[in-house]
Structure 1
Amino acid sequence: METIDKKIDIVNAAIEINNDRIAGYEKAMELCNESEEQDLTLLFQKYKEQSENFKDELLPYVQQFGAEPEEGTMVSGKLFRLWMDIKSLVAPYTSKAVLESCEKGEDEFRDAYKKILNDALEDYPGIVDLLQAQVADQQIAHQHIKELRDRT
C-alpha cells in the first residue's frame, strides 16, 4: 500500500505544479489584457493549455489507483502569484516585468519536475518517460519566454 501512496503522491505533485503554471499564466493573461498585449496573451494561453494537456496525460496515472487528482496548487506557487499581484500594483505594468515573472514560474516548474522525476526514478519508473517528455516540452516554452524577455 505504501508504494501505491508514493506513486499517487508523485503524480499529484506533477498535477499540482501544472495547476500552479495554469494559474500563473491566467494571471499573466489578465495583466496583458489590461494593457492590450494581444501577442503575449495568445502565447500565455498556449502555455496554459500546454499544462492543461500535461494534466490530462497525468490523470490516468492517478485514476488507475482509484485516487482523486490534486485540485490545488503548491504553496510556493501561491506565493509566486501573490508576488506577481503585488509587483503589478507597485510597479507599472510592462511586458518585461510579466515575462520576468513567467520565467520565474517556469524555473519553479522545472525545479519541481526535477524533484518529481528523482522520486519517480525510485518509486514509480512507469511514469518517468511521460514526465521527461513533459519537462522537455516545458523547457522549450521556458527558453521562448526567456528569449522574449531578453528582447524586450
Structure 2
Amino acid sequence: MENTNKQIDLVNDAIEINNDRIKGYEKAIEIAKDANLNELVVLFNGYIDQSRQFLAELKPLVNQTSEEPEEGTKFSGKIFRIWMDIKSAISPSISNALLESCEKGEDEFKETYKNILSDSLNEYPSLVDLLQDQLSQQLEAHQKIKQLRDLQ
C-alpha cells in the first residue's frame, strides 16, 4: 500500500506542476492580449493544450486507485503569477518580461519532473516512460521560449 501511495504522490506532483503551468500561461495570455502580442497568445495557448494533454495521461493513473487527482497549484506558483504581473507592468519590454517569466516557469516544470523521475526510476518503470516522454516534449517548449527571449 505504501508503494501505491508513493506513486500517487509522485503522479500528483506532476499533475500539480501541470496545473501551475496552465495557470501561468493563462496569466501570460492575459498580459499578452493587453499588449497586443498575438503571436505569444497563440504560442502560450499551445503550451496550455500540451499540459492539458499531459494531465489527460496522468489523471487516470490516480483515478485507477480510487484516489482523486490533485486539482490545485503550488503556493510558489501563485506567488510567481503575481510577480509576472508586476514584472510585466514595470518592464520596458512586456514581451521580454513575459518570455523571461515563462522561461522561469518552464525551468520549474523541468526541475519538478527531474525530481519525480529520480524518485521513480527504480520502482515505477511505466511512470518513468510517461514522464520522460512528457519532459521531452516540454523541453522543446522550453527551448522555443528561450529562443524567443534571446531574440528580444
TM bin, normalised by shorter chain, reads over 0.9
The worse-fitting range, judged by mean Cα deviation, of 82-91 and 31-40 is 82-91
- Percentage of identical aligned residues: 58
Q: Which amino acid aligns with 2:5?
A: D
Three-state SS of the structure 1 residue aligned to 2:51 is helix
User: 2: distance between equivalents of 1:144 and 1:20?
Assistant: 19
Task: Render the CA deviation track for 1:19-40: whole Å, top value 9, x for unaligned.
Answer: 0000000010000000111111
TM-score, reference length from structure 2: 0.95
State whether residues 117 and 131 of structure 1, in contact with CA within 8 Å, keep that contact through their aligned partners in structure 2: yes
Task: Render the CA deviation track for 1:24-65: whole Å, top value 9, x for unaligned.
Answer: 000100000001111110000000110010000101111111
Aligned match of 2:68: 68
TM-score, reference length from structure 1: 0.95
Aligned match of 1:37: 37
Aligned match of 1:147: 147
Aligned match of 2:135: 135
User: 1: distance between equivalents of 2:64 and 2:25?
Assistant: 29
User: 1: distance between equivalents of 2:39 and 2:90?
Assistant: 24
Where do 1:82-101 residues align within 5 Å?
A: 82-92=82-92, 94-101=94-101
Aligned residue pair count: 152
User: 2: distance between equivalents of 1:28 and 1:118?
Assistant: 30
User: 2: distance between equivalents of 1:73 and 1:36?
Assistant: 28
Gaps of 5+ in 2: none
Q: Which amino acid aligns with 1:37?
A: L
Task: State the shift of 1:92 in Å.
Answer: 4.9
Aligned match of 2:16: 16
Task: Render the CA deviation track for 1:88-131: whole Å, top value 9, x for unaligned.
Answer: 33335511110010000000000000001111114422211000
User: 2: distance between equivalents of 1:79 and 1:122?
Assistant: 34
